[in-house]
């Protein structure tokens, strides 16, 4: 079969908002893998194989054998950050990776120096960096960010750019259908400097799309999940994805809840709590920022174990999510889940899950896959919401204005991902979601 996707020719610029623990770990890992000094474990674009064809025609192929995916050697990294530290300094400061795993690519990392960030302290009160743009309005933010993208693309001779947000969680912005409903209203609000309804992340998303770059929202911010941005993505013929990288506890939840549902067991309650000590934990210690994350994390379970489908099993269960800032752990996040279930004749049982994970180690391959697959989608002519990328995200984007329900079931999401890869590769999308 022949793929109808444009080839991945030239350099791919990956510009990331936030040069913290996740992105410095991501960049270091890619550079080390390019030198043959480490393996990109956890990256599906580098390891996973998908079945194409059936019967005697059945084959299991890697993604790059089905569709033209950009090579790691062709990636160039850029960033914006409120702190001026380069990627080497950031990787050392984050203390996610051991020094021996950073030093071999020190020279390359030192060259990754962040642009000044478009930042508003009201959206992340715990951050205090001075590497920020002095913009009179939100529209000025957009214009300066667009200039950064153009400069980076030219300076690094990139043929394509992808922009991904891997910065801190902003305070919760409720969708306002007088501002966020149409592109015209969104642009007017940016020009009028509406600092309540226009988050800095929206300026990054708008700038990326305006410059012909797919945009990925890796935090739970209200950014591209508004009708105005869907309109912008269609106008610019660019893919958008988000939101919130699905790394630890929610990954477990989206994979384990189907066990309960498939076995037709009942649920009385699911209590989730985390401890985390990195910059993400610090920002989330602010109640207004945690609210954004809470909305994202709570949405997963309710769309998998649905009361309307099984009223005997899933009516009125209690679901609580907590995140606790605990500096001694730094990036080594720990998640506890207590699940109260019931079985035959209503008899209660319990499940306990304790996940000692490394936040950035789980997020780095996910960020790589989202960037490579968003670039692929753009070359395939796919614009707007990329539902097939929901596998990687805590709160998959969906058109809530049409009462569309997001798919949060991990294995259904994986089917969507495989089908999209098959289709873009010229094969039949031959798996169904039940």
User: What percent of the chain is predicted at pLDDT more than 90?
Assistant: 84
Question: Average of pLDDT values for 242-260?
Answer: 93
Report the C-alpha gap between 189 and 226 in whole angstroms. Answer: 14
Asked if residue 191 has pLDDT above 80, the reply is yes
- Cα–Cα distance between 263 and 253 in angstroms, integer? 16
pLDDT at 411 over 90: yes
Q: What is the pLDDT of residues 340-351, one digit of tens each?
A: 999 999 999 999
pTM of the model: 0.94
pLDDT at 3: 76
Residue 299 has pLDDT above 80, yes or no: no
State residue 430's pLDDT score. Answer: 92
Using the predicted structure, report yes or no on whether residue 295 has a pLDDT greater than 90.
no
pLDDT in tens, 110-147: 999 999 999 999 998 888 889 999 999 999 999 999 99
Query: What is the distance of C-alpha 21 from the center of its chain?
Result: 15
Asked if the model's pLDDT at residue 64 lies above 70, the reply is yes
Local confidence band at 4 (pLDDT 50, 70, 90 cut-offs): confident
The pLDDT value given to residue 125: 87
1 pLDDT above the threshold of 70: no
Residue that wins the pLDDT comparison between 127 and 364:
364
Would you place residue 212 in the very low, low, confident or very high pLDDT band (cuts 50, 70, 90)? very high
Split at pLDDT 50, 70, 90, the class of 297 is low
Mean pLDDT of 208-235: 97
Write down all domains in the chain, each with its CATH number in brackets: 11-245+360-424 (3.40.50.720), 249-356 (3.30.360.10)
What pLDDT score does 296 carry?
64
- Average pLDDT, stretch 319-334? 89
Please state which of the ranges 5-19, 47-61, 158-172, 286-300 shows the lowest mean pLDDT: 286-300
pLDDT at residue 280, rounded to an integer:
73
d(CA 352, CA 332): 19
Query: pLDDT by residue (tens digit) across 366-379?
Result: 999 999 999 999 99
* Average pLDDT of the residues of the chain: 94
pLDDT above 80 for 406 = yes
Provide mean pLDDT across the span 242-254.
Answer: 91
Using the CB atoms, write b or e for 326-356: b if 16+ within 10 Å: beebbbbbbbbbebbbeeeeeeeeeeeeeee
């Amino acid at each position: 079969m022949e793929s109808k996707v444009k080839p991945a020719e030239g350099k791919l610029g990956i510009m990331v908002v936030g040069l913290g623990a996740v992105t410095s770990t991501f960049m270091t890992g890619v550079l080390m893998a390019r030198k043959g000094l480490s393996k990109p474990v956890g990256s599906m674009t580098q390891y996973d194989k998908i079945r194409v064809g059936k019967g005697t025609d059945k084959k299991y192929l890697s993604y790059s054998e089905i569709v033209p995916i950009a090579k790691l050697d062709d990636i160039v990294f850029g960033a914006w950050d409120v702190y001026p530290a380069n990627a080497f300094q950031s990787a050392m400061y984050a203390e996610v990776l051991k020094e021996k795993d950073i030093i071999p690519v020190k020279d390359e990392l030192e060259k990754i120096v962040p642009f000044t960030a478009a930042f508003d302290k009201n959206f992340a009160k715990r951050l205090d960096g001075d590497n920020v743009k002095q913009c009179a309005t939100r529209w000025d933010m957009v214009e300066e960010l667009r200039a950064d993208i153009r400069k980076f693309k030219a300076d690094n001779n990139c043929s394509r750019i992808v922009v991904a947000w891997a910065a801190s969680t902003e305070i919760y912005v409720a969708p306002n259908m007088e501002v966020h409903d149409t592109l015209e209203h969104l642009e007017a609000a940016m020009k009028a400097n509406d600092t309540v309804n226009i988050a800095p992340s929206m300026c990054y998303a708008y700038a990326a799309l305006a410059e012909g770059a797919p945009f990925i929202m890796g935090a739970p911010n209200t950014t591209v999940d508004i009708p105005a941005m869907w309109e912008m993505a269609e106008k610019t013929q660019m893919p958008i994805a988000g939101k919130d990288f699905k790394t630890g506890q929610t990954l477990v939840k989206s994979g384990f809840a189907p066990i309960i549902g498939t076995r037709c067991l009942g649920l009385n309650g699911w209590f989730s709590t985390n401890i985390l000590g990195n910059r993400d934990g610090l920002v989330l210690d602010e109640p207004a920022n945690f609210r954004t994350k809470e909305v994202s994390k709570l949405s997963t379970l309710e769309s998998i174990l649905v009361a309307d489908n099984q009223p005997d099993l899933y009516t009125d269960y209690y679901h609580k999510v907590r995140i606790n800032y605990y500096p001694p752990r730094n990036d080594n996040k720990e998640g506890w889940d207590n699940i109260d279930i019931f079985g035959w004749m209503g008899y209660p049982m319990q499940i306990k899950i304790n996940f000692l994970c490394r936040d950035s180690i789980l997020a780095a391959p996910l960020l790589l896959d989202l960037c490579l697959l968003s670039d692929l989608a753009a070359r395939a002519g796919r614009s707007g919401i990329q539902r097939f990328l929901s596998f990687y995200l805590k709160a998959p984007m969906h058109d809530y204005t049409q009462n569309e329900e997001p798919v949060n079931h991990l294995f259904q999401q994986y089917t969507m991902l495989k089908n999209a890869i098959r289709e873009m590769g010229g094969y039949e999308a031959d798996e169904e979601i039940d």
